[in-house]
Structure 1
Amino acid sequence: MTKPIIGVTTYLEQAVSGVWDVRAAFLPEVYLKGVTEAGGVAVLLPPQEADPETIARVLDGLDGLVVTGGKDVDPARYGAAPHPTTDEPRLDRDAWEDALLQSAIARDLPFLGICRGMQLLNVSLGGSLVQHLPDVIGSDRYNLGGGVFAENPVDVHAGSRLSRILGDEGRVMVQSYHHQALDRVAEGLTVTARGDDGVIQAVELEGVPYGVAVQWHPEEDAHDRRLFASLVDAARVHMEALA
C-alpha cells in the first residue's frame, strides 16, 4: 500500500548544535513519529516565502498537512494589541502557515492543526484568541512551564468527527502546553471539544473532507496515535481519489 506524504510545519529559530549557533529549521521528533507510526511519510515544511507559486508547488506534493505547535500567533492578525505575556511574533511562520492552510482548504487537502495550529486556523478564518488564559480561568493549569506538559480532561462532543476518531469516548485526558485559546470562533468552524472549564479544545472545519484541529498535543502520547492515524487515512483517500 502506497504511503501518503504528510507535510509537517516546522520552527525557524536560533538553535545550537555542536559548534554551530545559527537560525535553523527544526521540529521535535515526536511529531514525525506521530505521522510515520500511523503509516505516513513525514516531510518537513520550514517557513519560507509564501508566494502562491511556492505554496502550490509544495501542496502539489502532499496528501495531507499537519500545522504544528510553537510561538504565539501575531495578535495584529486579529486586530489586537499584544498582551505582556504574548511571544514576539514569528511573522514569517505566521504568513507561511496561513498560506498553506488557506490553499489546503481550497483544494480539500486533509489537515490536522495542533495547539498553535488550531489557533492559527481560527485566526486565518477570521476568529480571535484569548492571549493569556490565566487572566480568564485564574490558573496555569494548561501551561506548567519548563517544558512540562500538563494532563487535563477534555469533553468531546458526541456525534462529531473527533468523537468517532476517539472511539466515542466522552472524556479524554490530554497533554496540554498552552497559555492562549480560541476566543471568537471563526465562521465555518464547529467547536467539538471543551475543557471542564469551558476552554475550547477542538474544532472542525465544515465543508471539507477532513479538517480537524485540537488545542492539546497528541504527539506527546506515544500510546495513542488515533488523530494521526485518522489524518493519514484521510490523506490516503485523497491520494487515491487523485490517482
Structure 2
Amino acid sequence: MPHPVPLIGISTYLEPGARWGVWHKPAALLPSGYHRMVQRSGAHAVLLPPDGDPGSADALVRRLDGVITAGGPDVDPGRYGAERDPRTGPAYPERDSWEIALTGAAIEQGKPLLGICRGMQILNVAFGGTLVQHMDGHRGAADGVFTSHPVKPVPGTLLERVLPEPVDVPTYHHQSVADTGAGLVPSAYAEDGTVEALELPDADGFVLAVQWHPEEGDDLRLTEALVEAAVGAAVSGARGSA
C-alpha cells in the first residue's frame, strides 16, 4: 500500500490589520513559502492560527503527523526572565503561548517538529533558554530584505545527517540563542559563532530547529526530512482522532 500523505501543521501570525482587496481586517496569515515548501516536500499543509486556549494544542497535534513553528515577531523577553531591550519588538502573548504549547505537545507525543527562526527561539525558551535581544549582521540592509550567510553543521548531529556540508542559507533575524535550554544541543553555527540550529537528542522522534528561513530558498532537505519522519508517524498510526 502507498504511504499516507502526512498532514503538517504550520503556526501562523495573528495580525490586527491585514490588507487584501478592499478589506483591512484582523487576519491569521502566513507567507506562502511555508505551505508551498511543505507541499513540494510531499505533504499536506494545514495552517494553525493562535488559539486562545493553549490547552487545545494537545488534541490538535494528535490529529497531525508533524508540526512547523514558523518565523515571526520577537518572543516576549518576560518569557525568559529578561528586561525588554528597547530594540525588541512588541509582545504577542497569545502567539507565544500557543507556539510553546504546540512545541510541547509535538515533543510529548513524538510528532516530528521543525522550528524556523522564531520557532527555534520558541523551542529554546520553552526549555528554559534565553535569547540575545539584538544583534547585527543577520538580515539585509533594509526592513523586509533577506540576506544570506554560510552555516556549518556540527558533526554527529541530526542536522548534519540532513545537511552534511556547510550551506549558504537565507536569513533575517536580529535575535539569537544566548543560554541554551536544558537538553537542547546546538547543531550548526554561523561564522561569527551565532547558534544557527538546535535539536533535542533525547526526544522520541525528530526535533530540529533552524535560525534561518528555508522557505525563502530552494533547498527542501529540511522539510523532506520532516516529511519522511512524519510518514513514519502516519504509518505507525500515531495520528489520533481527538
TM superposition score normalised by structure 1: 0.93
1:51 CA displacement: 3.8
Residues 17-166 of structure 1 aligned to structure 2 (within 5 Å): 17-52=20-55, 54-134=56-136, 140-166=137-163
Query: Residue 139 of structure 2 contacts residue 145 of structure 2 at CA under 8 Å; is this kept in 1?
Result: no
Q: Equivalents in 2 of 1:176, 1:237: separation in Å?
A: 30
Aligned partner of residue 186 in structure 2, secondary structure: strand
Are the equivalent residues in 1 in contact too, given 2:133–2:174 (CA < 8 A)? yes
Alpha-carbon distance in structure 2 between the residues aligned to 1:32 and 1:95:
22
Classify the secondary structure of the residue corresponding to 1:66. strand
Distance in 2 (alpha carbons) for counterparts of 1:30 and 1:118: 18
- In 1, the alpha carbon distance for the partners of 2:148 and 2:171 equals 6
Q: Which amino acid aligns with 1:106?
A: E
Contact 1:201 1:215 in 2 (8 A): yes
Q: Deviations over 1:196-227 (max 9, x none)?
A: 110000011122210000000011112x1000
From the superposition, tell whether residues 144 and 120 of structure 1 become closer, same or farther in structure 2 (CA, over 3 Å). Answer: farther
Residue type matched to 2:35 in 1? L
Distance 2:224 2:53 in 1: 28
1:121 is matched by which residue type in structure 2? L
Measured after TM superposition, the shift of residue 56 of structure 1 is 2.4
CA spacing shift, 1:126–1:143, aligned 2, 3 Å? farther
Q: Tell me if structure 1 keeps the 8 A contact 2:80–2:125.
A: yes
Runs of 4+ in structure 1 off by over 6 angstroms are none
Between 1:211-220 and 1:155-164, the stretch displaced more is 155-164
Q: Which residue of 1 aligns with 2:237?
A: 242
* Cα shift at 1:190: 0.5
RMSD: 1.1
Deviation (angstroms), 1:146: 2.4
The correspondence for 1:188, drawn from 171, 183, 191, is: 183
* TM-score, structure 2 as length reference: 0.94
Question: Is the partner of 1:242 in helix, strand or coil?
Answer: coil
**Who is 1:137 aligned against?**
none
Q: Determine the C-alpha separation between the residues in 1 that align with 2:124 and 2:220.
A: 24
Q: Which runs of 5+ in 1 are unaligned?
A: 135-139
1:143–1:178 CA contact under 8 A, matched in 2: no
1:175 equivalent to 2:170? Answer: yes
Q: Which amino acid aligns with 1:58?
A: L
Identity among equivalent positions (%) equals: 45
1:214 maps onto 2:217 in alignment: no
